[in-house]
Amino acid sequence: MTAVVEARGLGKQYHRNWALADCTLSIPAGHVVGLVGPNGAGKTTLLNLATGMLAPTTGAIEVLGARPASGPAQLARVGYLAQDAPVYAGLSVADHLRLGAHLNPGWDGGLARGRIERLGLDPGQKAGSLSGGQRAQLALTLTIAKRPELLILDEPVSSLDPLARREFLQELMEAVADQDLSVVLSSHLISDLERVCDYLIVLVGSRVQVAGPVEELLATHHLLSGPRRDPATLPGGQHVVSASHTDVQTTLLVRTKDPILDPAWTVSEVGLEDLVLAYMSQAAAGGRRRNHLQEVPR
């Protein structure tokens, strides 16, 4: 499995605060990867490092096997939709397409015009007067029409209303299906990404808490409930992610490749959202005692 993003000991320091510290991760190719973590986990910093918007303080990062933003060719291979989908407020929709055509040798003008037409955007309208959803769609069009191999999107839907959110993700998935793209999307809410991701990375406090194909994660995590019991007495192959107890009952989220054989447990499926929240709260409990990472300054 080749990696689209490979980070080793990656860190970024702002003045005295580390926005990302000692981050090592590998994002596989050919997936729609959800990068999920709480605010301040370092997601935006990681993506800015991956697109060369930032230079790392420590460690190294390779994207598609090369240093980010190392030249025009590398820039052409990676599309980046930054948080809040910045566009030029004074330029029209058509101007943005012209911008894309002038600045990208691989520009697919037919694709861009077709998308704008389908979305019902008025080419003469100034981008500053577009709605949030339309602006995100315009920025996505620019990013897709340069025909990148890897598409990186930072919190692409967090500021959109539910309808715009669904339309945006639909458009994204169509593009992925048409163009054979690798995609990395970040969000602090897994519910945003649940329908589109087939690979998940949970990042908390610069650390990868869990990573893997969504189907595999769902198949290997189980919610166990039964009479009260010490989690330490579980079989060796079962790793406890979270545990909660009442006077008489214990509920555990465990990760295991083996089937659960103990008849004392009632075994139920776990949803992706509960799974992610369990990893986040586990990491947060440890993280509060460790280091405090700051939200990325813009």
Q: Which residues bind other proteins (CB under 8 A)?
A: 48, 51-55, 69, 71-73, 75-76, 78-80, 82, 84, 86-91, 95, 98-100, 102-106, 139, 142-143, 146, 298
Please give the structure tokens belonging to residue 226: 């039964």
Q: Which is nearer to other proteins, 76 or 211 (CB)?
A: 76
Q: Which is nearer to other proteins, 3 or 99 (CB)?
A: 99
CB of 55 to other proteins, least distance (A): 4
CB of 161 to other proteins, least distance (A): 21
Q: Which is nearer to other proteins, 53 or 111 (CB)?
A: 53
Alpha carbon distance 6, 26 (integer Å)? 5
Q: For 84, phi and psi rounded to 5 degrees?
A: 65, 15
Q: Which is nearer to other proteins, 55 or 284 (CB)?
A: 55
CB of 39 to other proteins, least distance (A): 18
- With beta carbons less than 8 A apart as the criterion, state whether 19 and 55 touch: no
* Residue recorded with tokens 């107890």: 245
Q: Which is nearer to other proteins, 91 or 189 (CB)?
A: 91
Alpha carbon distance 78, 69 (integer Å)? 9
CB of 82 to other proteins, least distance (A): 4
CB of 197 to other proteins, least distance (A): 22
Q: Which is nearer to other proteins, 97 or 270 (CB)?
A: 97
Q: Which of 5, 106, 8 is nearest to 56 (CA)?
A: 8
Q: Which of 217, 172, 209 is nearest to 284 (CA)?
A: 209
CB of 19 to other proteins, least distance (A): 12
- With beta carbons less than 8 A apart as the criterion, state whether 274 and 223 touch: yes
The amino acid present at 282, given as its one-letter code, is Q
Alpha helices in 51-131 (DSSP H): 72-77, 93-103, 109-119
